[in-house]
Chains A and B, each alone.
Chain A
Amino acid sequence: MIYTIDADKLPRSQDGLQLHNAYVSKDDRINDTAQNDQGLVWPIRSGSATIEIRPTYIQNSTTVEQIVPEIFRLADLLFKSAKAEMFEYGVESEFSRELDDFVHKFDHIAIEAIRRVAFQKDVDQDVLLEALRTLGRIEHSPSYIERLRLLQMGLFAPSAQIRNGAALGLAYLDDPRAIPFIKQAIEREKLSWLRRYFQKVLDQLENTLKCRASSDI
């Protein structure tokens, strides 16, 4: 599958230049690294999918290595600037809107960038929860599987707040494919309140599965 990124959606490099006509393809082969004569390939997650960016036209000496790190830098900036925001119950935050926009612009690269930032130790807990909640709420098909995977992974993070946020994100996604992951998370979870939260999410997903099954009959 080939994704085309509009030139306007590409980040600017440090000297202000813009990359044109960059194509992204998704390769599901499990390789550590690979490189072809048209561009650079590198693993986004160890042992899983790689993303290949093949620039067909690059201005001056701007190289393709600057694209993905730039997206990662943007994610980091997004999270840092959100620290100053006061999140209010039942109100869509500026951070949530910007995160939504970020995912729409950069698809699954955005999700990897968010994962790298969100799962760091020093991330603000309120921002983290808002991010994981938002990942479950976003309406964006191209990044759906990556978001589902990230939230499933989050159920097993060392941090209780990430586990909690991941479960919440999965509740918003309401995808029964997460059921085996939630069940495993319940078995492993030592905190009673979090185990109770996981159980609620599991109940919801199982109910969703039942409803879908009965509507298929």
Chain B
Amino acid sequence: MPRLLRHLRKKNRWQSDEPLPWLEEGDIPADPLDNLSTLQNKLSVFEVNNGLSRIERVAAAMAAKKELIQEFDYIIFDQELLEEIGITISLVDGDTLDNKANSWHRDLIQLSATKLVELAKRLVPTTEPDQILPKRVREVLINTVASGEIDWNQVNLKKERERAEIETEIERLRALRQQNS
């Protein structure tokens, strides 16, 4: 059964660490919905199954279009859950700089408010967030660029020092690979 990844932009709003006495049984607080914000009634996810390497690759792919490298927070859930709620998945390529990662992208489409809340109600109590640290995101990005799967000229990182360091590392890695081949 395929497993899907959803990036959490606001991980600190996913689960409350304090008890919420005002919350009715079976309900969830509203904050986590911030991490399930839709665009044109669609929600973006990636099919990653159980591979950490895929998760890390997605993290690096998303980082490549950003101004700076940050930690990558995410949840993983079974695709089966979507079938139970009646949510449709569409195979739509992502728009990261990594074509391989783009091929793992899926859109959850035709989302009504009811379906979205049902999804949240199923995910929030049972799915703990996980994280790729920024140093690891950077390492994977370097590897992916060095292997030619992301075009360095399109990477959007803005900090000059960070760009220079990463570029040096990419060149070093390429030289090493050339030496070994």
Contacts and interface: CB of A to CB of B under 8 A. Distances in A.
Interface string A130-174: 000100000100000000000000000000110010001001101
Contact of A197 (B62, B68, B131, B134): B131
Contacts of B159: 92
A192 to B, nearest CB: 7
Contacts of B63: 90
Chain B's interface size range is 20 to 34
Contact of A174 (B13, B128, B135, B161): B135
| B contact patch SS | loop
A139 B160 CA distance: 13
Interface string B1-12: 000000101101
B25 interface: no
Nearest to A129: B12
A172 B134 contact: yes
A160 B18 CA distance: 9
Q: Size range of the interface on A?
A: 20 to 34
11 contacts: A88-B9, A89-B70, A90-B66, A90-B68, A91-B68, A126-B12, A129-B12, A133-B71, A168-B71, A193-B128, A204-B136
Interface of B: 7, 9-10, 12-13, 15, 17, 62-63, 65-71, 128-131, 133-136, 158-159, 161
